[in-house]
Amino acid sequence: MGINGKIVTKNAYRITKTRNKTALRIRVPGGYIKVKHFTLIQSIAEEYGDGTVHITTRQGFEIPHIDFDKIAQINKKIRPLIESLGLDIEVTDYGYPAAGTRNISACVGSRICPQANNDTTKIARKIERTIYPNDFHFKVAITGCPNDCIKAHMQDFGIICTTDPQYDANRCISCKACVKNCKKNVTGALEMNNFNVKRDAEKCIGCGECILKCPIGAWSRGETPYYRMVIMGRTGKKNPRIAMPFIKWSSEDVVVGVIKNTYAFVGRHIDRSLPKEHIGYIVDRVGYQVFKQEVMEGLKLNKKIQIAENIQWHGYYYKQDNQFKSI
């Protein structure tokens, strides 16, 4: 049967290795889904697939082994899944309106984890409402603390929830628990000075470890949440690399605005002679300074924010790898 691959993939179906078979990709922003939807996913897998579901690396679901001629029927059935995204779009019987922007992934966040500095699910769903639907191939992940359990450093945009720790010297008993832990396990941003703890703001990464280690509550999380954004991490065949810090001590509105503005940046600079061009390679080609200027334009910056003057990405190129030789 004749299949228009572009239309199929835009509709969130995959072109698979099995002839005349496809796979449905179900979006689950932040990895958070209500269990009432499981029965629908199960029924689609059993009625139209082979009774299996794959949990993707991006925390979505993929239902394989679906006949292409069943797409229209399935699209009508998945309306509740699309409605659950809470998007400001008209939900129709035609299924997902785009699939280029990958499922936004997130660690479990402060709803459950004591180390998390914020509700990652809430942030993921806010970003989803801001940027979806879109066709550009973006990867976004949110992690609740600098432990980075979600591997934000491997994404186009990694958002790391941080806190500006507040110190109450009147409660402190000078036990040095926070100082010792920061020195051994974090950045050494804390030291004792005349029986009080002093914090080096340049070294502090806002992890919140001092808050967790203090036995009497001398440290607490600040009322204002902050975020660090790392950008242009990637895997792949050409130049794998980890993301590098772009902004620190940012407000939520700024990090969301940067991602939103990047769609326009890509639209202006993408090489349309290619089937697709990864965003990191676009930044490499046009330059970091152009990227920074265009994605920060029009954003209302909070007072505490810091923006990288320059970024040098590392990683490696396979063709320049001289560590191996034949024996």
CA–CA separation, 281 and 218 (whole Å): 46
Both tokens of residue 309? Answer: 């003057």
**What pTM does this model have?**
0.93
Does an H or E element contain 291, and which? helix 288-296
- Structural domains in the chain, CATH included, are 5-83 (3.30.70.3340), 105-162+225-320 (3.30.413.10), 166-220 (3.30.70.20)
What's the rounded mean pLDDT across residues 119-143? 95
pLDDT per position as a tens digit, 146-174 = 999 999 999 999 999 999 999 999 999 99
Tell me the backbone φ, ψ of residue 27, rounded to 5 degrees: -80, 135
Both tokens of residue 121? Answer: 């699910």
pLDDT at res. 269: 97
pLDDT at res. 105: 97
DSSP assignment of 27-49 equals: --GGG---GGGHHHHHHHHHHHS
DSSP state of 214: -
Both tokens of residue 74? Answer: 């399935």
pLDDT at res. 177: 98
pLDDT at res. 100: 83
Does pLDDT of 323 surpass 90? no
Which of the two residues, 275 and 149, has the higher pLDDT score? 149
Confidence of residue 326 (pLDDT cuts 50, 70, 90): confident
Tell me the backbone φ, ψ of residue 228, rounded to 5 degrees: -110, 135
